[in-house]
Structure 1
Amino acid sequence: MKKVLSALALAAASLALAPPGMAQDIYRAVSSGPGESPPNGSPGSSVATFEIDGSLMRAEVPFRDLLSGTVSAHIHCCTTEAFTGVAPVAIPLVDFPLGVTAGAYSRTFDLGDAAVYDPAFLAAFGGTPAAASAALFDAIADNEAYLNIHSSQYPGGEIRGFLVAAPIPEPATWGMLGAGLAGLALMARRRPRGAVRAAR
């Protein structure tokens, strides 16, 4: 129990000490067939996480229930309006699992490397990784960049989801966390006494 309390206390402390902008560096893309343009009836889904730390972007993309095997996946940028429209490929998800209807993808991209970007995107946004990444960051902040997973049945994209900043915990969440830690602390204090009595 002490190990659990220590882990929870450490997690709470690290969250409390985190820089204010830290949560805004984590983005989620909830992808679906109805989220495509045009929408489709695919039951496929994905809740992907993109964590940006300086010039590094970590992508965690689980997906499932596609109607046909994957042929590619990309981050597209930049639409002219938030949460709508289509855009060209900005970053191909290199080595994405192909020919499957479910799976997971994990990779870290160095956004300071020109090879990460689709050549047309790089050329359209200044021709340098710095200019391309600035355009991508602006589009993500404005909800004008999206994840698209393409399949053989839907080569234009079977499921898609716009990248959205992960929510920052509400003040009430911190209160609930504190109450939970206090409750666990009481349990930890009582448990050893009971354990000693049971041993007698």
Structure 2
Amino acid sequence: MKRVLSVLALAAASSLAVPALARSRGIDTTRFQARATGTAEWWPNDSPGTAVATVDLEGYDLLVDMPFSGLVGTTIDAHIHCCTSAPGSGAAPVALPLVGLPIGVRDGNYSATLQLAENWTYDPAFLESTGGTAKGGFLTMVRALDAGTAYVDIHTGEFPNGEIRGFLVAPPVPEPAEWALLAGGLASLWGIGRNRRR
């Protein structure tokens, strides 16, 4: 039991410390998340649908996981759009089609790896606007992710221009109070393990 608690405590501390350490050294995060809703659409709507997208950048691969549910219409398409003029606002052209999205459903999950080093991964118009090469598309996309000006959008038959969308942003860095809470929790775990040993 003590070993399990120690491993859990170490995992919790590591998961919080790595992003904070990276930021303190000026290294940008490689994880971005979005909560897509109808009210976040460029023309807001009252769809009860939601999606939670997690996007991890690993080298030239973009790993996308996006469960969605509660859509009013059935899915016809989904994309990552890039790049708005300001974080969280405006509309942008399609940059990355989310090929393989389950079509004709109101609930589901999209999970895929987008190969950003390949020209065919990008929408042709976006690729052309970034110099016509995957390198230009990649650099533009990475800058947009860092700036919060790229978003996921799920399109349905009811809302062909987009039923739900969410801007991709870096997860928040823990506040000092959260660090104190973590330290207290770790101390408690240590104390439990120590008492059980006696």
TM-score w.r.t. length of structure 1: 0.88
1:6-85 mapped onto 2 (5 Å cutoff): 6-13=7-14, 15-16=16-17, 19-21=21-23, 24-85=29-90
Structure number with bigger Rg: 1
Secondary structure at 1:46's aligned position in 2? strand
Change (3 A) 1:24 1:13: closer
Shift of 1:158: 0.4
* C-alpha contact (below 8 Å) 2:82/2:144 kept by paired residues: yes
Identity of aligned residues (%): 44
Q: For structure 2, which runs of at least 5 residues remain unmatched after alignment? A: none
Superposed counterparts of 1:169-180, under 5 Å = 169-180=174-185
Distance (whole Å) between structure 1 residues aligned to residue 169 and residue 7 of structure 2? 32
Q: Which runs of 5+ in 1 are unaligned?
A: 194-200
Aligned 8 A contact 2:16 2:174 in 1: no
Kept after mapping to 1: 8 A contact 2:145/2:169: yes
Contact in 1 for aligned 2:9/2:189 (Cα 8 Å): no
16 and 161 in structure 1: CA distance in 2 versus 1, 3 angstrom threshold: closer
Paired residues in the alignment total 193
Comparing 127-136 and 14-23, the one that deviates more? 14-23
- 58-67 or 14-23: bigger deviation: 14-23
SS of residue in 2 equivalent to 1:79: coil
- 1:125 aligned partner: 130
- Structure 1 distance, partners of 2:12, 2:54, is 20
Q: Does the Cα contact within 8 Å between 2:28 and 2:146 map onto a contact in 1? A: no
Query: Considering only aligned residues, what root-mean-square deviation do their CA atoms show, in Å?
Result: 1.8
SS at match of 1:38: coil
**Contact 1:23-1:167 at 8 Å conserved across structures:** no
Distance 1:20 1:82 in 2: 22
CA distance in 2, matches of 1:144, 1:45: 20
Deviations 1:143-186 (A, max 9, x none): 22110000111111000111111111223322221211110111
In the TM superposition, residue 192 of structure 1 has moved relative to its aligned partner by 4.7
Query: Residues 181 and 73 (structure 1 numbering): CA distance in 2 closer, same or farther, change over 3 Å?
Result: same
After superposition, give the CA deviation of every residue in 1:62-117 in whole Å (9 maximum; x if it has no partner): 11100021111100111223322211110011101111111111112121111111
Secondary structure at the counterpart of residue 51 of structure 1: strand
Maintained 8 Å contact 1:25/1:51? yes
- Please tell me the residue identity of whatever aligns with 1:8: A
1:111-130, Cα deviation, whole Å (9 max, x unpaired): 11111111111111111111
Q: Distance in 2 between matches of 1:56 and 1:172?
A: 35
User: How far off its partner does 1:37 sit?
Assistant: 1.6
In the alignment, structure 1 residue 5 sits paired with structure 2 residue 10: no
